[in-house]
């Protein structure tokens, strides 16, 4: 019998994709390493060649998601045809679309025992995203849309606040829209934008949030 030997990157992505599918169907806690291995169709021991644990696999999954989001945002930032508000709108839509089918990540990061892992994710994400979003803010200042003299620091304040806000509505997912409505107003103030510049734009996102709000049964 000829053994199926694949490029390590390909095989690793197979584990990540299989886990994502199973997590979305069964939930994180109800999916075992055995389930993932059987889905990929390989020997059990091969899983531990790539990942130390199921938690490490989710960490890799998040890394992949962040890398994809960065690529999308970088493309938006580099556009010479879009205004800063256009870029902000497209960026937020990208964030929303990528997270719609990953509700299981909410339950994975939920709980005080997961706070350290969540904190690492927050720091890694902010390190990658803050410079890109700050470029959009700088453009907005040049266009007169924003007036903050501290683009990078303003973005970091927003992002750190956003992640801890997300952790808060993990406890009460039904309050997600309320938190996001408040967030839009806070961002306007941090960036010293004209009132309504972002809150009007945020309203367009709320229709797409129903699929992201998880129930207690799904946590």
- Other C-beta atoms lying within 10 Å of the C-beta of residue 49: 12
Q: Are residues 47 and 1 in the same domain?
A: yes
Both 6 and 90 in one domain: the answer is: no
- Cβ(69)–Cβ(98) below 8 Å: yes
134-175: pLDDT as tens digits: 999 999 999 999 999 999 999 999 988 887 776 666 666 667
Range of the domain at 104: 55-218
DSSP secondary structure string for all residues of 155-182: HHHHHHHHHHHHHHHHHSGGGHHHHHHH
- CA 72, CA 81: separation in Å to the nearest integer? 16
Q: For position 147, what pLDDT does the model report?
A: 96
Confidence (pTM)? 0.74
The reply to whether 186 and 211 lie within a common domain is: yes
- Are residues 42 and 61 part of one domain? no
Rounded mean pLDDT of 38-62?
91
Residues 5 and 20 in one domain: yes
Q: How many domains does the chain have?
A: 2
Length of the chain in terms of residues written: 219
The CATH number covering residue 25 comes to: 1.10.10.60
* Shared-domain flag, residues 77 and 1: no
């Amino acid at each position: 019998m000829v053994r199926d030997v694949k490029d390590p990157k390909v095989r690793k992505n197979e584990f990540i994709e299989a886990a994502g599918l199973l997590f979305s169907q069964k939930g994180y806690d109800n999916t075992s390493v055995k389930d993932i291995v059987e889905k990929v169709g390989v020997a059990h021991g091969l899983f531990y060649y790539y990942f130390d644990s199921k938690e490490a696999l989710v960490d890799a999954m998040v890394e992949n998601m962040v890398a994809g989001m960065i690529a999308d945002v970088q493309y938006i930032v580099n556009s010479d045809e879009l205004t800063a508000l256009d870029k902000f709108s497209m960026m937020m839509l990208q964030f929303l679309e990528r997270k719609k089918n990953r509700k299981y990540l909410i339950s994975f990061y939920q709980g005080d025992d997961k706070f350290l892992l969540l904190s690492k994710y927050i720091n890694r994400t902010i390190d990658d995203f803050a410079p890109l979003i700050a470029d959009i803010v700088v453009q907005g200042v040049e266009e007169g849309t924003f007036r903050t003299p501290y683009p990078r620091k303003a973005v970091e304040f927003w992002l750190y606040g956003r992640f801890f806000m997300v952790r808060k509505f993990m406890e009460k997912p039904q309050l997600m829209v309320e938190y996001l409505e408040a967030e839009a107003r806070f961002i306007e103030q941090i960036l010293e934008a004209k009132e309504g510049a972002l809150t009007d734009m945020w309203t367009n996102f709320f229709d797409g949030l129903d699929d992201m709000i998880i129930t207690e049964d799904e946590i």
